[in-house]
Amino acid sequence: MKILYIVKNYPQITQTYIKSELNALVEDYEIEIIATSVPNVADPEHLPYHQISDIEQIIRKIQEFKPDFIHSHYLLLAELVSGISQKTGIPFTIRAHSFDAMQPKNSQHIPKHISTLHNHVNHDLCRGVLIFPFTRTLLVKAGPIDVDKLVDAPPVIDASAFLNKAPNGHDIINVGACIPKKGMEDFVLLSTLLPEYNFNLYGVGHTIDKIKELNLTIKGRVNTITSTPFSKMPAEYKKHAWLVYTANASIGTVGWPMAVMEAMASGTMVCMPRVREDISDFLGDEGYIYDDIRELPEILRRPIDEAKRTRAFDRAMEFDIVKHISKLTDLWE
């Protein structure tokens, strides 16, 4: 079966969801990738792709490739993909993430790409949209959407690539794109409260310079490590006892980060803020949820709860992509 991907910013190094999904499909499907825009920081381990922004050129590529399905990521591309689908007659699917399926806490307006989503999902050529379960309420509220096409699916995580039950190091890690919703300023603040630990931020682009400046200003102790490819990250997690995944609670659009389950699979304990009540559904009892970063020194100084760490390995594997890729491929069958 031939699948044409239409995605933006490919191959962005932070697009781990897309990468893990492709890796799970590439042996069983003939795949071509069209990137509609260029990455901020490119992934050196990407698959072949075509960078095309012109719709007519995309349609010509579809006519050459003759795919059975078009697949995309991000609800932001729903209008583009459904329009191309209708022009070519090729059915499509989309995997939503979190930032594109949520309403910021500080906003009174539902984003336009959500309020108009029903126009694209309800079309016969849309075979389904994979969503995080906690985003369903907003998507249904936003418009008269065909709820049968909304498929609850967990994050696309290659947990098996990280599974390693050997002992871990002693450092503290945070990872991800340096953008305001990630609240990485809290990670810098935490480093000033725990001088006995090494803090490593595997941050990518955007506001990384502001984080570095803050680190100098308040005498933080955060080492910034940039552009680490996916294949190197399992070994990096193993150097750390804790992942402190920060988030700006006032923005509230951090979803279910893939780093949480990657860390658990690596034997790295996890702390995450209570940005919403569904965070407890994601972490289960295998992680620690905090309300204020100042709560963490007491937690991080305790001996590792080995029973909790052991359960976290199983928790991570519950989210492994092999268990859930059929939620997508069933839509193509």
Domains of the chain, by residue range, sit at 2-153, 159-318
Domains 2-153 and 159-318 share a fold: yes
Backbone angles phi, psi at 221, to 5 degrees: -125, 35
Fold of 159-318: Rossmann fold (3.40.50)
Q: Which residues contact 310 (CB under 8 A, 6 or more apart)?
A: none
Whether the ω angle into residue 11 lies within 30 degrees of 0, i.e. cis, is: yes
3-state secondary structure the chain: CEEEEEECCCCECCCHHHHHHHHHHCCCCEEEEEECCCCCCECCCCCCCEECCCHHHHHHHHHHHCCCEEEEECHHHHHHHHHHHHHHCCCEEEECCCCCCCCCCCCCCCCHHHHCCHHHHCCCCEEEEEECHHHHHHHHHHCCCCHHHEEECCCCECHHHCCCCCCCCCEEEEEEECCHHHCCHHHHHHHHHCCCCCEEEEEECCCHHHHHHHHHHCCCCEEECCCCCHHHHHHHHCCEEEEECCCCCCCCCCCCCHHHHHHHHCCCEEEEECCCCCHHHHHCCCCEEECCHHHHHHHHCCCCCHHHHHHHHHHHHHCEHHHHCHHHHHHHC
CATH code for the part of the protein at 2-153: 3.40.50.2000
- Contact by Cβ (8 Å): 9, 15: yes
* pTM of full prediction above 0.85: yes
- Contact by Cβ (8 Å): 57, 28: no
| Whole-number pLDDT of residue 97 | 95
| Whole-number pLDDT of residue 107 | 85
Token pair, residue 196, equals 């006995």
Residue ranges of the chain whose pLDDT lies below 50: none
- Contact by Cβ (8 Å): 214, 185: yes
| Whole-number pLDDT of residue 69 | 98
Cα 179 to the center of its chain, rounded Å:
13
Q: In what order do the strands lie in the sheet with 92-95?
A: 50-51, 30-35, 2-7, 69-73, 92-95, 126-131, 150-152
Backbone angles phi, psi at 128, to 5 degrees: 160, 155
- Contact by Cβ (8 Å): 119, 282: no
